[in-house]
A and B are shown apart, each in its own frame.
Chain A
Amino acid sequence: MTQQANSGLAPRDTRPKEQVVVFSIGDHSFVISASSVQEIRSTDGLGGNVVELDRPVLRKVRHIVERDARSYYVVSGYEHFHLPLSRPTSVLILRNVPVAVLVDRIEEMAEMRVLLGLPRSFCGEERTWYRGLTVLGHKVVPVAEPRGFLTVDELRRLEQENPGLLHTVVHSVGTLRRERERA
């Protein structure tokens, strides 16, 4: 007896889906919307595109990186989440915000089917850090808020202490690279 194909009758999952990047810092996994990530690079590959901040006003931001004629504040992931010192090997260069985040590992790309609000009992900095929580493979994982890595206030402080640096880095790194190429 042949089993009839019934794929046409199977209920379709109509819940909205979102592609996410799963990354880890220390023992913790996080996800971030793939649409908010411009590029993922190895920290080894950044090389000469990194400039040290003259006045690092935030412990978690010490460098600026230039990519494709744009510059980004490099945020240490473990410092941001108040985690013990870790060894970042990848950097997530974000879209629409001047932020690149150092993370330990990229675990996988996944599909997020549910975004649950952070319970109200959580009342600390995590309300800025996360869009909410999701469930991936029976595991609850926080969903990083791209604008939470550097708040408007933190960006203002960085700009005040390092005026114009974010805009001049692109020029200076480009000049440096050309000089190196000539030599």
Chain B
Amino acid sequence: MSAENNNLVPSFVVFQVGTRRIALRREEVAELIASPQLFAFPHTTPMISGVVLRRGRILPVLDLGPAVCGAPSRSTRFFLVVERNISGAIEKCAIPVQGACELVSGIMFPHTDIVDFVVGRLDFNGEQVDVLDLEKAIAMNAANYDERILATEVLS
């Protein structure tokens, strides 16, 4: 494949959250960083486990574990920095990742399952990797969290 053609093939970052390998579109990922410390403090936002300091800036840590694996991720030093559009403003967030991250090119096939936050599937060396719609994953997990809180309040 020529370089010109290669540019037309979309790129994805494949990474591991808990026991699951998932992918994000290359454009959504800014960098992979190592940060020595996660700072946690009380809050009520689901999936946010704290913040890390990066070049004097504070990055919220967005744990995808509850959304894609049903459990918080193990602690890690490595974070994938992604850009989110929150109410029209771009904000960088750090996603804790386990194991190696890979940059791959490939064709994404539309997903036929009912999982809303998976936009497609990538065939990567014979391995099927789901490509995530980050905002949908966050929104769905937040909705589930609200339902759990409501159920707890009703039961208590």
Contacts and interface: CB of A to CB of B under 8 A. Distances in A.
Contact of B60 (A81, A83, A119, A139): A119
Contacts of A135: 53
Interface residues of B, number: 20
B86 A121 contact: yes
Contact of A119 (B39, B40, B42, B59): B59
B125 interface: no
Interface string B32-52: 000000011111110010010
A120 B45 contact: no
Contact of A122 (B39, B40, B48): B48
A46 interface: no
A18 interface: no
A119 B89 CA distance: 11
12 contacts: A30-B41, A82-B44, A83-B42, A119-B59, A120-B87, A121-B48, A122-B45, A124-B44, A124-B45, A126-B44, A135-B53, A138-B53
Interface in B41-82: 41-45, 48, 51, 53, 58-60, 62
Given A28-B42, A129-B42, A133-B51, 11 more contacts: A30-B41, A81-B42, A116-B58, A119-B58, A119-B60, A121-B86, A121-B93, A122-B43, A122-B45, A129-B43, A135-B53
Interface string A89-112: 000000000000000000000000
A142 interface: yes
Closest 4 CB pairs of A and B: A124-B44, A140-B39, A126-B43, A81-B42
B62 A121 contact: yes
Contact of A120 (B40, B41, B91): B91
Interface residues on A, range: 20 to 34
Contacts of A138: 53
B117 to A, nearest CB: 17
B58 A133 contact: yes
B84 interface: yes
Nearest to B91: A120
Contacts of B93: 119, 121
Contacts of A126: 42-45
B95 to A, nearest CB: 11
A122 B58 contact: no
